[in-house]
Amino acid sequence: MVTINDVARAAGVSRATASYALRGDPRIAVATANKVRRVASQLRYTANLSARSLRSGRNGVIGVAIYELDRPYPAEMSAAMSNEISRRGCQPIVQQTSNSKEGEISILQRVTSQLCDGMIFSPGNVGDQELKILSHGKPMVLLDDSSLAPVFDSVDTPCEEGAAAAIRHLVDVGCRDIVVVGPDYGLLGDPRAAAGVEGRRMRGCLAAFEEAGMMTADVAARFVHTRWNADDARQCARDLVRSGRRFDGAFCLTDTTAMGFVRGLADCGVRVPDDVAVVGFDGIAAGANLVPSLTTIAVDLDDLARKAVDLLMGRICEDPSNPAPPRRLTADFHLVQRESTRR
């Protein structure tokens, strides 16, 4: 059986350095950590979690709690998290909250408090103070935290920057009457809701509309509300076309919404991209196989996972008597232009 001593010897480092590197301790230089992980992978090293737990009070298990696992984007994000945690020599446990308060509380009480050294958590229905109590003092990193005064580290998807890039791209390909499909424009009046994913994507759109000189008095009419799933988006497209509303570009707040919207346009004989150019947001793999293939704002899920795990590992290793203030990071993204905007 391969031991940590074998890994250290093969990597040319001390046993302590090898151990810290595999736990993701930020004090270890990136090049050294990568070398240790590469050697551990080559030797097929598996950490002895029972022994680790006895020595350090930790068991090397990291929890990931995501709202849904039966949709492409959260499933692909969970896979990226799992891969990154495993790369650090830890064992991931991925759970689905089903976007319910009961599900979130159950996971925090039964999984985080009993099994995990820390948790990467996608909050939806449990507030900061409840999270502090339910986490039992264990480190936690939130995904897309909408708190106005955060108490946990968090990593955001690039909502504002990505949405603005989507609108700019539609303008660049010649669109002048652009609709934004998905959001409820009215929630911008609620500070907490406006700080969430939907609100931040809307703010990005508004900034790009202003930049392009499209901030007219009826700008709210550009935002077409529908639930973020393919079936509702398909019906939304049909209703929009049948209403007589003229538009030549559409930014959908998720790729799944965009796929349904494109299908709804096709149902009405509207051609993409000839009549309407369409951009999605997420970068899910299925978008490349749509007909036409979908232009999208692709979130760098590996970067998102790396930043979340880095923050969590830093908290696990820090001195609890002298905690650093909460940090907020944003994942990288890039625009992937495909057939849905090629004219």
In the block, tokens 């809307």 appear at 202
- Say how far apart CA 114 and CA 132 lie, in whole Å: 15
pLDDT digits (tens, 9 = 90+) for 112-169: 656 788 999 988 777 777 877 777 778 999 999 988 888 899 999 999 999 999 999 9
Average pLDDT over residues 12-40: 84
Q: Map out the domains of the chain with their CATH numbers.
A: 1-46 (1.10.260.40), 159-300+335-341 (3.40.50.2300)
Residues sharing a CB contact under 8 Å with residue 287, sequence separation 6 or more, in sequence order:
255, 258, 259, 280, 293, 294, 296, 336, 338
User: In this predicted structure, what is the pLDDT of residue 127?
Assistant: 75
The token duo for 163 is 């949405």
Token pair of 285 as six digits:
């793999």
Cis peptide before 26 (omega within 30 of 0): no
DSSP per-residue string spanning 250-317: EEESSHHHHHHHHHHHHHTT--TTTT-EEEEEE--GGGGGSSSPPEEEEE-HHHHHHHHHHHHHHHHH
Question: First and final CA of the chain: distance in angstroms?
Answer: 59
For 191-217, write each residue's pLDDT tens digit: 888 999 999 999 999 999 999 999 888
Neighbours of 186 (CB within 10 A): 11
The Cβ of residue 9 has, within 10 Å, a number of other Cβ atoms equal to 14
Q: How does pLDDT run across 231-290, given as a tens digit for each residue?
A: 999 999 999 999 999 999 999 999 999 999 999 999 999 999 999 999 999 999 999 999
The pLDDT, as a whole number, for residue 43 is: 84
How large a percentage of the chain has pLDDT more than 70?
94
CA distances from 258 to 153, 266, 284, 299 (A): 31, 12, 11, 15
Closest CA to 261 of 287, 235, 294: 235
Q: Which residues pair with 95 in a beta bridge?
A: 65
CA-nearest of 217, 216, 197, 205 to 171 is: 205
Residue, of 47 and 280, whose pLDDT is higher: 280
